[in-house]
Each structure stands twice: as structure tokens, then as C-alpha cells.
Amino acid sequence: MSQSVTSVSTAQGALSPAAGDSPFRQFVRRFLRQKLGIAAFVVLMILFLLSLIGSAISPYDPVKPDYNVLLMPPSAEHLMGTDEFGRDVLSRVINGARISLAVGIGSVLIGSVIGAVIGLTAGYYGGRYDSLVMRSCDVMFAFPGILQAIAIIAILGPGLSNVVWAVAIYTIPQFIRIIRGSTLALKNMMYIEAARAMGIPDWSIIWKHIFPGTFSIAMVYFTMRIGTAILIAASLSFLGLGAQPPMPEWGAMLSGGRQYLMSAPHVALFPGLAILITCLAFNLFGDGLRDALDRKIID
């Protein structure tokens, strides 16, 4: 009987996480099972690398025109062809990665920080402050995101920096709702009640005890929102409200190539593929993070 109990315990120990296994190692082990997440991570690392060294490896100047090779199709000399001004499309796509990633990450970072602060305090304190915050978010949710961004750009004026703020403002209520929901679930936990009973200040409880509990869901949503932010920024540039010529931004490139869809489709095809691949990679990476951070998954 004792031998059978020992064998069962040994089998259970083999199936459970190793003793002393850190949460980070458990996360890495779970994430390595997400094949699509790993593929998306590799794609994102390539994009980040291109954003860092793109200007050094691009074969041509992305903004210098060459009127001898207007609308040239893809060839050995120009792998993605040239646009209506003879500029190399590959060089512009490579250099556009830095702009699109900077706009996407920068806008979501600003929106997430502001949204996290408001969401944590609203969920923790509640009352009229919480009601005011949530009614304001409801008003913002009543309008489509692209219309909000267009309205903000109409006030601030066109330009890439204003696009960052427009997308950030659109992102704020999304993070407020997510962080507030997690805060409401955590603030009545036993360890939070114990911290209050010990006289720990509210700000310390919020940032040291509640915020870490919201970090995982916020990180997943942060990653997935970057793809949406890049898409909205590209849409604004497509409409002429974002990046201005001759800046090699993917949305602006797509806008410039739409009139050549029949005669030179490559001018719009490759920037469109860059937007598609980048947004898809961020979404798949976010899905992989969500599954890896889910503690219900048995190792």
C-alpha cells in the first residue's frame, strides 16, 4: 500500500512544475508551446531590428526621387519596384517600420499609463469619482475610434506627433475599463483588507499590491492594442491627416499608390502587406502571451 502511494506521489510530482521553478520559467515554458506566438515573436523581432538598422541596410535613399525609373515593377535592381517618383519601395517599407512601430508603441504606452492610473484609482476609491470616469468612458465608447481620432486631428492639426496623441486618447478608455475591472476584483481580497488594517497608505496598496495583480492582463491588452494603433495611424495617414510626404510611412505610401492599382499595383501592395503582417503579428503574440500567463493551464 505504501509503495502504491509513493508511486502515485512520484507520478504527480513528475507532472507538476519542478520544485523551486520560478514564475518566469513557468511563463517561458508555457509560451514555448504557442507555435503561432513564437512565429509572431520572431516576426516582431525582425521588425524591431529593421526599425533600428533600416536606414543602414536600405539599398536606396527612401525619400530621394529618381525620375528615370518611374513605376518600375519588381526586379533584381528594385526588389519591390519603384513608386510614382522613382523611389525604391523596399527602402521606403524598411524605413517605414521605424515610423509605424514608434507611433504604435508610443501612442499605446501613453494611453496605457494614463488609463492605468485612472482605472486603478477609480476602481479602488469608487463613489462619484468612479461614476464620473465610467460615464466619460461610455461617451467615448459611443463614437467609433477612427472618428474620435479624426476629430482630435481636426483640433490639433495634421502631423505624425498629433496622430500619436489622437491614438493615445482613443486608447485611454479601453485601459481604464480593463484596469478598473481587475481592481474591483482585487480590492476586496483578504490580503488587501489586511494591508488596510495595518494602516498602509492607499497609494502603497494600489501600486504595490493591486497593480501587480492587473499587470498580466494589461500587458496582454497592451501588446494587442499596438496592432490596432498602427492600423489607425496608417488610416489617418491614408486620409492625409498623419504623416506628410515624402515621409515613408506605410499608410501614406498606401494612399499614394491607390491611383496606380491597375498599372502598378506593387506601389500599394507591399505597404499594405507590411501593415497586415505587423498587425497580425502583434495580435498573435498577444494571444500567445494570454495563454502563457493563464494560470489555469496545467504544466
Q: What is the pLDDT of residue 20?
A: 53
Judge contact between 174 and 112, C-beta under 8 A: no
Q: What is the pLDDT of residue 155?
A: 87
pLDDT in tens, 131-161: 999 999 999 888 887 888 888 888 888 888 8
Highest mean pLDDT among 11-15, 20-24, 227-231 belongs to 227-231
pLDDT in tens, 231-262: 999 999 998 888 888 899 999 999 999 999 99
Report the percent of the chain where pLDDT is more than 70: 91
Its pTM stands at 0.85
Please state, in angstroms and rounded to a whole number, the distance separating the CA atoms of residues 50 and 53.
5
Q: Is the pLDDT at 103 greater than 80, yes or no? A: yes
User: Other CB atoms closer than 10 Å to residue 104's CB: what's the count?
Assistant: 25
Q: Which of 77, 89, 68 is nearest to 257 (CA)?
A: 89
Please state, in angstroms and rounded to a whole number, the distance separating the CA atoms of residues 153 and 236.
9
Domains of the chain: 23-57+81-293 (1.10.3720.10)
Kindly report the backbone phi and psi dihedral angles of residue 82, in degrees, each rounded to the nearest multiple of 5, phi listed first. -125, 160
Half-sphere exposure of 248 (CA within 13 A, CB side): 29
Q: What is the pLDDT of residue 298?
A: 46
What DSSP string describes 278-293? HHHHHHHHHHHHHHHH
Judge contact between 96 and 271, C-beta under 8 A: yes
In the DSSP assignment, the letter for residue 153 is H
Comparing 123 with 30, the larger pLDDT belongs to: 123
What DSSP string describes 78-95? STT-B-TTS-BHHHHHHH
